Chains A and B, each alone.
Chain A
Amino acid sequence: MRWWRRLTIAAAAALLAGGAAPGPGLAQQAIQLRFMSWYFGEDPAGPTLKALFAEFEKRNPTIKVVAETVTSAERVPKFTAAMEAGRGPDLYMDTPPNAPNLIARGYCLDLESRMKADDLLARFTKGDLDSFTDAKGDHYFVPYSTGPMGLIYNAKAFQDAGLDPNKPPKTWEELLEYAKKLTRDGKYGIGLFGKGDNSSVWRLWYWWMSNGAEVLTADGKKSAINSPAFIEAIDFWADLYRKHKVAPPSVPANSFGENNQLLAQGVVAMVESGVWQFGVTEKINPAIKGQLRAAPMPKRKVDVAVGGGTDALCITAGSKNVDAAWQLVKFLSSAEAGVTVWKMHGKFPANVQSMQSPELKSDPLVQAFEPMITVARTPFKSVKYVEVTNALGTMMQEVLTGAKPTPAAVKAASDRIDAILRD
Chain B
Amino acid sequence: MPRRRGRRGRRVAWLALVYALLAVVNLFVLFPFYSMLVTSLKDSASAISLPIQWWPRAPTVEAYVSMWAGRPYGRYFLNSLLVASGTTVVSIALAALAGYGFSRYRFPGATGLLMGMVGTQMVPGILLLITYFKVVSVLELYNTLTALVLAYTSFVLPFATWIMKGYFDTIPLELDEAATIDGCSPLATFWRVTLPVAFPGITATSLYAFLLAWNEFMFAYVLTDSNEKYTISVGIAHLFGEYSVAWNELMAAGMVAAIPPIVLYMFTSRFLVSGLTAGALK
Contact = CB atoms under 8 A, between A and B. Distances in A.
A262 B225 CA distance: 36
B243 A265 contact: no
Contact of B137 (A41, A68, A86, A256): A86
B143 to A, nearest CB: 10
A267 B238 contact: no
A82 B143 CA distance: 12
B142 A78 contact: no
B223 to A, nearest CB: 9
B48 interface: yes
B27 interface: no
A24 interface: no
Interface residues of A, number: 33
A208 interface: no
B242 A72 contact: yes
Nearest to B246: A283
Contact of B142 (A69, A72, A87, A265): A87
A91 to B, nearest CB: 15
A120 B182 CA distance: 85
Contacts of B178: none
Interface string B29-56: 0000000000000001100111000000
B271 interface: no
Given A85-B133, A87-B142, A256-B243, A77 B222 contact: yes
Interface string A262-274: 1001010000000
Interface string B47-81: 01110000000000000000000000000000000
A24 to B, nearest CB: 28
Contacts of A84: 130, 133-134
Given A81-B222, A85-B130, A267-B50, A285 B45 contact: yes
A284 B218 contact: no
Given A68-B225, A69-B238, A77-B222, A280 B243 contact: yes
Interface of B: 44-45, 48-50, 129-130, 133-134, 136-137, 142, 218, 221-222, 225, 237-238, 240-245
19 contacts: A41-B241, A71-B221, A71-B237, A71-B238, A71-B240, A80-B130, A81-B133, A82-B133, A84-B133, A85-B133, A85-B134, A85-B136, A86-B137, A257-B48, A257-B244, A260-B244, A261-B48, A262-B50, A265-B50
Interface of A: 38, 41-42, 45, 68-69, 71-74, 77-78, 80-82, 84-87, 256-258, 260-262, 265, 267, 276, 279-280, 283-285
